[in-house]
Each structure stands twice: as C-alpha cells, then as structure tokens.
C-alpha cells in the first residue's frame, strides 16, 4: 500500500537496526528517501540502490556525523538543492553500558544526552528550514522513558526529554501544519537493543504480553504509518510499541 507516495523523507541512523528497517518501510510505501549514515559504506550503498530498484523510488545515501555541526549543515544544504523534504525521522541514537546510579559516569550521561537529544534538535532546526508545510516529524523514544530499562539512567533521561520536546515542538509547528510525534519501542532485536537489555532480558520480556523482542520492521512500519496522511490529525503524541506492557507493568 503506497500510503507515502509523493513524500520525501530524511531518516537518520539508517545503516542498521530500526533506522535501516525504516528506510525499507518508507520505500515500500512509496516515499523517496534520504538515508543518513555516519560514513560511507559500500554495502549500505548497494542496499539503498536495491531498494530504489525494487520499489521504484529514489533512496539516496547521505553521510554525516551527527556530532559534527558542520557536516550536518553541509548535508542539509545538499538535500535542499534537490528539493523539499516532507518527512523527518530522527532514528539515530546511542546507549551507554548499563550500570547502577553510583557507577554512572557524568561523561557518559552528557554524551548520551547530547547525541540523543541536543544533536537531534540541532538537525531538526536545520531540516525545518527546507521542510514543506504539512509535513511530519517522528522522533524515536523508548520504553526507557517510562522507566522500563533498569540501569540505563542516561538513556532513559534522554528519551524522556525527547518525549517532552516532541510535545513542545508539535505545539509550535502546528501553525505550519507539521505534525510531530514519537514512537517508543520496547526491546528490539538489534545490536543496541541486546546491548541495553543484557542479563535483564529474560525478566523484562517476561513482563510483556508477547514474550519476545520486537523485530525492527515492526517498529519501522509504525513510524512509516504515523508519518502518512492516515494519521493527519495526530500530533504531540508518543506511541508505545512495547509488546503489551513492559513499560507500564515491568
């Protein structure tokens, strides 16, 4: 179903995990995509090319380091030369090693907050200058924002802040009819998801209804769906996709 036909999306964190699955979902649903990754990768180039051929859309790799302001600015300028984007998906993010509060280092907290919140905000500021009115922004939150990830103080704080930012930005951009929402996955079968879960995985999954981790594509399809006009009256919301309750019952 081509619910994103005619849309142009910029998706960060696109090389692996949820981000990679998201560019596939957007392409399958008819959108042209700027697939953002940190550095050149021949396999990633081939993946983007194969998506373009399979779904008859443009999937263009775009390389920049989210922690480098100059690279962000240069990349957004490149995008604007081609045309306006209509959808922005902030998938990029990092997670620190799980630890008790007493052992959580301030430097680790600062870097996670910087990448998962501050740099996302900075990228969004630049992207909005070339974004069409009536578009959509989706930020990636997590069940950690609701206290569903023990030992992840920095990550949980960063994602909770993402949800507050999402609500505030939705209010400000309503005048441009740009919708802003967040998707909060439960534990997802990705490198990051497995790193964050660690030894707690069995206990955490036992608290969910579905008793398993999510597949990246299951999260990506939700991101793509709420970016479409099927959800044209939804903004300022966080959609929890957590397998049935880990974020609230764990």
**Active-site amino acid positions:** 155
Contact present, 93 and 13 (Cβ < 8 Å) = yes
Give CA–CA dist 142/158, Å, rounded.
10
The residues, ordered by sequence, that sit 6+ positions from 206 with a Cβ below 8 Å of its Cβ are: none
Give CA–CA dist 32/23, Å, rounded.
9
Give Cα 213 to chain centroid, integer Å: 18
What's the burial of 53, exposed, middle or buried (CB within 10 Å: 0-12/13-18/19+)? exposed
């Amino acid at each position: 179903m081509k619910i994103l036909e005619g849309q142009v999306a910029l998706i960060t964190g696109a090389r692996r995990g949820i981000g990679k699955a998201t560019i596939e979902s957007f392409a399958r649903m008819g959108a042209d995509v700027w697939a953002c990754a940190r550095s050149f990768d021949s396999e990633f180039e081939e993946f983007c090319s194969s998506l373009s051929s399979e779904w008859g859309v443009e999937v263009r790799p775009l390389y920049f380091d989210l922690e480098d302001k100059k690279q962000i600015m240069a990349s957004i300028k490149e995008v604007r030369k081609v045309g306006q984007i209509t959808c922005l998906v902030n998938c990029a993010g990092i997670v620190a090693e799980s630890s008790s509060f007493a052992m959580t280092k301030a430097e680790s907290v600062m870097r996670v907050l910087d990448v998962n919140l501050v740099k996302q905000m900075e990228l969004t500021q630049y992207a909005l200058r070339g974004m069409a009115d009536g578009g959509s922004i989706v930020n990636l939150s997590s069940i950690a924002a609701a206290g569903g990830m023990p030992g992840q103080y920095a990550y949980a704080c960063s994602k909770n802040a993402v949800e507050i930012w999402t609500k505030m930005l939705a209010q400000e951009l309503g005048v441009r009819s740009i919708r802003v929402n967040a998707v909060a996955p439960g534990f997802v079968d990705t490198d990051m998801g497995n790193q964050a879960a660690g030894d707690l995985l069995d206990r955490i999954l036992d608290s969910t209804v579905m008793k398993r981790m999510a597949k990246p594509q299951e999260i990506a399809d939700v991101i793509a769906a709420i970016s479409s006009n099927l959800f044209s009256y939804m903004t300022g919301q966080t959609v929890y996709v957590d397998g049935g309750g880990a974020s609230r019952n764990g």
